[in-house]
């Protein structure tokens, strides 16, 4: 049963990151680097965060990642980069990702938004993604 929950979490991560079967967690940091100091961390990330919370009904994957990005921008966390990549993977358009960050100006102020856009721009450059800005012309 615990194995099932772990597998459910791995499957969810593979779905979110569109990773191949021989590397199902792909670019996602699931805490595997901490085996020597906190061997149970990976289990919590996979089983609780992905097998549990990310597998909950209520929101679709695009909504879940948008919610994640928003929370990380509001808190100024460096994990924004990884979750922007996940957003592109689940089908959020670059315009939706930028739209989410820009929408936060009235709620977090400009500095949090500028910091997050800097990260978004870097991820988009790495991934070869262009933002369609024609709606602003």
Alpha-helical regions (H) of 58-104: 61-75, 80-90, 94-103
Nearer to its own copies, 33 or 126 (CB): 33
Nearer to its own copies, 88 or 98 (CB): 98
- Considering only residues 45 to 84 of the shown chain, the ones binding its own copies according to CB under 8 A are 45, 48-49, 52-54, 56-59, 63-64, 66-68, 70-79
Total residue length of the chain: 137
- Does 13 bind its own copies (CB under 8 A)? Our answer is no
Binding footprint of its own copies, residue count (CB under 8 A): 71
- Does 90 bind its own copies (CB under 8 A)? Our answer is no
Supply 26's token pair.
């792909």
Cα–Cα distance for residue pair 31/136, rounded to 1 Å? 41
Please give the span between the terminal C-alpha atoms of the chain, in angstroms, as a whole number: 55
């Amino acid at each position: 049963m615990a194995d099932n929950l772990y597998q459910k979490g791995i499957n969810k991560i593979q779905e979110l990151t569109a990773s191949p079967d021989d590397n199902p967690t792909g670019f996602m940091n699931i805490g595997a680097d901490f085996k020597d100091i906190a061997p149970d961390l990976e289990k919590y990330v996979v089983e609780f965060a992905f097998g549990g919370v990310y597998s909950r009904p209520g929101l679709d994957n695009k909504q879940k990642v948008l919610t994640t990005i928003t929370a990380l921008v509001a808190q100024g966390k460096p994990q924004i980069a990884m979750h922007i990549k996940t957003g592109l993977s689940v089908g959020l358009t670059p315009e939706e990702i930028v739209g989410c960050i820009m929408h936060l100006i009235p709620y977090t102020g400009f500095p949090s938004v500028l910091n997050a856009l800097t990260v978004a721009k870097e991820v988009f450059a790495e991934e070869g993604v262009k933002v369609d800005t024609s709606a602003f012309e």
